Structure formats: C-alpha cells, structure tokens
Chains A and B, each alone.
Chain A
Amino acid sequence: MTETIIFYVFALMTVVAATAVVTVRNPVHAALSLVLTFFTSAIIWMTLEAEFLAISLVLVYVGAVMVLFLFVVMMLDINIARLREGFVRYLPLGIAVAVIMFVMMVSVITGGIFSGDSVIEPIAKAADYSNTKALGRVLYTQYVFAFEIAAVILLVAIVAAISLTMRKRTHTKYQSPSAQIRVTKADRLRIVKMPPSSEPSRSKTLSNESLGNE
C-alpha cells in the first residue's frame, strides 16, 4: 500500500517536472526541472529495488551532467525570446504528432504483450541481495564484449574531443620553469671571435700616444 502511494506521488512529480522542462520560459528553470525529473525517476527505480541504477542516475545525471548543463545555460547569453519564436506556429503540428504517438502507444500497450496481465510479477529479492554485485557479474562475463566496445567508444570520444578542440596557442606568455633552470651559458651568451679591425687599433695607439705624452 505504502509502495503504491510512493509510486503514484513520485510518478506524478516526474510527469509534472517533465512537462515543465519543455514549457517553462526560463532555461535555467527548465534545467532545474530536468534535475527534478531525474531525481524522481531515481526514486521510482528505488521502489523497483534497482538501487544501483537509482544511485548512478543521481550521481551521474543529477550530479555531473545536469550541473554541466546548468553551467552552459548560465554562461551562454541565450536570447529566450528568439528561442520561443514559432512556438504557436508549430503547436498544431506538434499536438497532432503527439496525439498520433499517444494513440499508437496506447493501442500497443493496452492489448497483447505489453498489457498488465501478460507481464509476470517479479519476485522480491531478499534484503541482502546485492544488485550491484549482480550487475557487475553479468557485465564482466556475459556482456564483456559489449563492455569492451563501450570502452573503445569512450576512447574515441576522448581522441575526438582533444583533436577537435586543442589548438596550439602561439601568443601565450607561458613560462617553463624547468627550461629556465636548465639554461646554460651557451644558450644565452654567444661569443663571437672577430678579427681585430684597423680602426680601433689606430685609436688605441693614438690613445697610447696621448697617454705617453702626458
């Protein structure tokens, strides 16, 4: 009974927050609503006894991804009025698409395989059952190949991000302390051997003469 109440409360909050993401005027509020949507979804997962997924949703999405989103939204000077342009114009089309999608989904979900009757209720696991351990076990056995490919995709993301954004900046006044310390006399001072030219030598003799005169 309590579980049902918790589910409905948080399901309602999820739907309201998700609607707010696309309807509120201020992009910062939209991002915050998305945070709320993730958070309430995490709680619904928790009621399904999927603790690991719930916690990683909060840590990864709420903690990292959405904070980054918020930074971007706050840093960029977004013209909100321009973003909302055409909202009314595209509204009829949007509503039509939404209605068609809704009808299609309802027709699929209510009958046949996705209806509530045909889904077997899962058996609740014992309190000491570790969801994380179970996930880890299949991740490194059954799905190890897929897991490795996912790792390669992350490597591609790193290589791509660095090669697309790293620029050699030529005008920076960056100092390299180690290079400064390791400097030797030969790097800074250039000793040039010059043949003695006639002009200074004559002046030298002149000055000698003058010295001698005195």
Chain B
Amino acid sequence: MSEFIQPNLIPVIPEMVMLAMTCLVLVVDLFLPQAKRGFTLFLTVLTLLLTAAAVIAIAPADTVSTFGGSFILDQLAVTLKVAILLISALVFIYSRDYLKDHDIYKGEYYVLGLFAVLGMMIMTSAHSFLLVYLGLELLSLSLYAMIAFNRKSIQASESAMKYFVLGAMASGLLLYGISIFYGITGTLDLNQVSDVVRMQLTENPIALSFALTFIVVGLSFKLGAVPFHMWLPDIYQGAPTSVTLFIGTAPKIAGFAMAIRLLVDGLSDLQAEWSQMLLVLAVVSMALGNIVAIVQTNFKRMLAYSTVSHVGFIMLGLLSGTEVGYSAAMFYTLTYAITASVAFGVLMLLNREGFEAENIDDLTGLNNKNPWYAALLAIALFSMAGLPPTVGFYAKLSVIQAVVSIDMVWLAVVAVLLSVIGLFYYLRVVKAMYFDPSDEGRELTIKESLDVKILLSLNGLSLLGLGIFPSGLMAYCILAFS
C-alpha cells in the first residue's frame, strides 16, 4: 500500500465554507418563526456570496489538484463555480414572493437548494469518475425533493416521480459506462484513465466505444438532448416555477462542466468517436426542440423545448473538439443560464396566490400593465432567439464560427436554419405581450418588491451589455481552455 500523503485542503476551502454554512442555515432555521423566514433567505444568499468570495480569493494561477488528483481547481472550475454561485443567489432572491404565495416558504427549501449548489460545485471540480458521480447524485437528489416540495400540488409530485425514475435510470447508464471504463483501465482517476485509454486505443476499440456510448447517453440524459429529453418538458411544466427557474439555470452550467470533465479531460483520445455521437444528438436536438416548441401553448413547456434546442447548440461547440469550440460552448452555456433566469424571473412575478401563470395567454397585455417587465422579457426572448444586439446572437455566432473552423459548413447552415424556425415561437410570445388584446375580466397582477426589481432589471440589461461587449466574459472562457 502506498504511503498516504496529507491532502492539500486549500483548494477545497469553498466547498468547506459552503457545507459548514449550509448546516448552519439548517440549524438556525429551526429556531426561526415563520415571520422571520426572510433571515434564512438572507443567510442563504450570504452563504452563496461568501463561497463565491472564497473561490475568487483562493483562485490559483495554475491548475491545482488535491486528494490524490481526484479534485482539481483550474481556471475552468473557478469561472464556472463563481457563475453557479451568483446565478443561484439571484434565483433564490427572485423566488421569495413566489414561495410565500404558494405556501412553500420554508427553510428546507433553501437548505436543499444549497446542497444542490454544493453538488454542482463538486461536479465542476471533480477529476475522478467517483466524484463526478457523487456530485451529480447530490445535485439530483436535492432537485427531486425540491420539485416535490409543494405537497399540495399533484402535478409537482407527478413530475418529481418522473424525474426520479428517469434520473435513476440515467445514473444507472452512466454508472454502467463508468464501470466498464474501470474494468478496462483499472482506475477511476481521469488523468490515469486518459493515459490508459491512449494505450488501449488500438487494442480494444470495441470495448472502449461500448463504454463511451453509455457515458454519452448518461450525459445527454442529464443535459436533456434528444432522444433523451422526454423528462424535460414534463418537469419544467409540473415543477413549481421557482424550481423550474433553478433547474433551468445553474445545473446547466454544472452539466456542461461534467461533459468537459468526462469527455475532454478524461476521454479526449476518443474525441473522434464522441464527436460523431454528439453530432447526431446536436442536430436532432436542435430540430426537434425548435419544431415542437412551435405548437406549445404553455410557456414553461415551450421554454423546455427551447432548452432542448439550446443544448443542441452547446453540443455543437463541444463536438468541434477544439479549444475555440469549448470556449464558445462555455460562453453559450453561461449566457443561456443568465437569459433563462430573466425569462423565468419575469414569469414568476405574474404568479399570485392560488394562480399559476404559465400559459402564453397569461402574458397578454403585459405591456399595458407594466412596460418595463415586458421589455425585460422581450430582451430575454430575443436573446434566446439569437437576435443582435443581445448576447444570444454573439453566443450563437461564436459556436457557429467554431463549427465552420472545422470545415463543417453544412452543420453551420443547418444550425442557422433551425434557429430561424425557432424565432417564430419566441416572437409569438412577444406578440402576445405587446399586440394581443388582453381578456376582459382577467386581472394581471405583478408583485413589486424593490430588490427583485433592481436585480431583475440589472440581469435583463446585462443581456444587452454582454451582447455589445462580450469580450470580457469571452476572455474568461478562452482562458479556461488555454
């Protein structure tokens, strides 16, 4: 047995801060009366900000790994962790009024959310199959419980059950792939896996691609790529909107990190094979996501299909197999998460007690009622559709550039054509907000609270700001892969 070396604990300080603070929130919340629940939210946001500060404070100049190479802190992990933490903090602040109205304003909601964030942080830093899987399970388990959190809603319980069963199956597939890789390489550490795969490449191509298939299937299930997308629309629609907002933003970043860790860090020698698999998944996702979204009348369901098409775009960046492609995909993922937080954030403001705003019809006349929120939602939708000068345009452009640079012009053309189809359903929502007459007798109520208004406005305007000056964020994305 090799001698055990005391691990370097500095790179895991953010995770330790996060875990300690989460346990503190769990205990403090027990002693708070319902009227003082705001303090739990305050502590939750404080936890996220403190952890983000810790990540920035210890950010190393070079890649640092600890715990025998199973945990890694590099530029990619630092950037993604900060993004996950900040977006989660926004999400929790936006959902406060919604939670109050739907009688789920409880401390456990925030505790589960914080554990989910911890799982995402572990996923971004994991450098062994074991940690990738454990981080993923920590995230998924918390999400299952958060979806079912509103016990009065049968729909929410149903979608939690669906997510649980399908998620367990996806984890099983992923584990199956991992176990075959373990059989081939005899190690779980991604660096060593990468070395052994390089040696085995010519000897055992069948066994390797057999294992890779399961990994890719598990990954695309978690990301929500066609044909493994079936859970997404049901869960987006059935879950409380606050949870949909949470699922639709930060976990996408964690899923991207998982894809990078597994495919790029661990299995880069099989790139020729997984590129082919991702190519099929990406094209089918963009086509089905954009076309099926056209017929949706439920706004949340429509955004779910739109997510499927965006996942296709992220995969386009990954499959190019170049550093430019990876950083384009990272930029796309980050900006998508910011955009989705605005779209769901505005939708959530329209909810009130006993009423769940989720249909496109519910948005009619929003411009008359409150032009500012209508404008913010329109910016978010334009960004998703990829219209300039919003950030969505630049994100799509950089992914398409990456695809063109590997001489797959036909793929770029397909992506652009499918985005044009997608434009239709985004604009339909804008039409409903601005031009459709609102039904008589249906009162549109908007919850106004100052902090949400300020943050949501900044969040929405950042889509324009990043669209006009994308180079700052892009520089971080390029740095992560250089």
Contacts and interface: CB of A to CB of B under 8 A. Distances in A.
Nearest to B185: A113
Given A112-B206, A113-B184, A156-B112, A149 B26 contact: no
B137 interface: yes
A86 to B, nearest CB: 18
A153 B204 contact: no
Contact of B141 (A114, A134, A156): A156
Given A142-B4, A145-B71, A146-B70, A160 B206 contact: no
A153 B134 contact: yes
Interface stretch (A65-73, A103-111, A188-196): A103-111
Contacts of A137: 1
B206 to A, nearest CB: 6
Contacts of B438: none
Contacts of A107: 206
B423 interface: no
Interface in B1-60: 1, 4, 7, 12, 19, 26
Contact of A160 (B71, B122, B130, B145): B145
Given A113-B183, A142-B4, A156 B134 contact: no
B118 A152 contact: yes
Contacts of B138: 149, 152-153, 156
B206 A143 contact: no
B207 interface: yes
Interface string B114-142: 01001000100000101100110110011
Contacts of A163: 106, 108-109, 112, 145, 149
Mostly helix, strand, loop or mixed at chain A's interface? helix
Interface residues of A, number: 28
Contacts of B122: 149
Interface residues of B, number: 41
Interface in A135-149: 137, 141-146, 149
Contact of A164 (B12, B128, B151): B151
A124 interface: no
Contact of B134 (A108, A149, A160, A162): A149
Contacts of B184: 113-114
Nearest to B135: A149
Given A159-B108, A159-B111, A160-B112, A145 B131 contact: yes
A149 B141 CA distance: 13
B131 A160 contact: no
Contacts of A155: 115
A159 B107 CA distance: 11
B203 interface: yes
Contacts of B370: none
Contacts of A150: 134
B130 A156 contact: no
16 contacts: A107-B206, A113-B204, A113-B207, A114-B183, A145-B67, A146-B130, A149-B134, A149-B138, A155-B115, A156-B138, A159-B26, A159-B145, A160-B108, A162-B108, A163-B109, A163-B112
Given A113-B204, A156-B141, 16 more contacts: A112-B204, A114-B183, A141-B4, A142-B68, A144-B67, A145-B131, A146-B130, A149-B131, A149-B138, A153-B134, A155-B115, A159-B26, A159-B108, A159-B111, A160-B142, A162-B108
